[in-house]
Chains A and B, each alone.
Chain A
């Protein structure tokens, strides 16, 4: 087959389709992964004994279990106990659960790095525990966690490729299908590799801008 034709008629349209699915996966995961991550971090740090150890267990499980195995459980495993999820939903759910575990560690680290004096000062002003957390601790912690959180976001872009393993045809899936059908393995995977590189590089650049924007004079990460 003519290389130009292969590129313009087959590969690029396929990758474009895949890109849309990948972006959907990432866009649906990221906000919930962040919220759940904040919840887990707060539960771990400020929860009672039971909640705190439940959150710790959550982190151990979802950081230790390979993401691909988690996706298998959600997609192939859950039906055996009567819960059947569409592949796309299972993928997003798996990504959220995993992403949240990693995010929570960065947020907790940031919470721990905030000086005690800040909390004492807030309490001296008459703030309740929750008010202190909400308006003093979290705003600082999230800013400090930005480098780690953005790192996780970049990981999420790359690991969204695992959705293909449970039949969600995103970027890598499209590339695999084209590669197999036209017997153009190196070409297809290099092309999809370039798309991922572009996504990751652009995101890294955007993250730098975000970090500059959220920076507060004198408050180092």
Chain B
């Protein structure tokens, strides 16, 4: 029987040299969940996301996608990564490809889709993020917000089961942040399963099914946004939320 969770993370540990960045992280994700990770910088949130698709290899612990274990799968990792999209803080669009080519390259190369079919699919994804008019532009010709929307389309084109967002708006000014968050809200409403590391409390409040507060490589507190953001139980969560809302 299939597990009720689409993604399971169990007791992840990661050290960089002497510094322990992840200290036994566990959580489960249901299909359609939007989990938002908050917490001070340097508390391992980004490392956690990278451990899920093994861009960073954890020291111990397991990650499961459906009933398949990702951790320790060796060469097979690329087949898991096809099913897990990722969106980066600094976009990482392929600089030598147009917006459209950025979106279609993985379906063509990885899924062996026919170029015409991949092109059509890519165009649909660009429409979904409102970037269809910029299909022929190169990354250097796009604003940060536009580039990030293209990179979301790039992840979507693989029809992922989960998308990891690693501080997707941290490099953007408020105006551009809004256009990216709009796209992400749309995705969440459409039932996409998302793990989001962000400092955007408004987004967490309105979209998250669950907010997870992390500090010092541990999950301090987790729960529905109304609870965590309005009535945090832990002192550390309260302090953090207080600081954020002061800004």
- Touch test A–B (CB under 8 Å): no
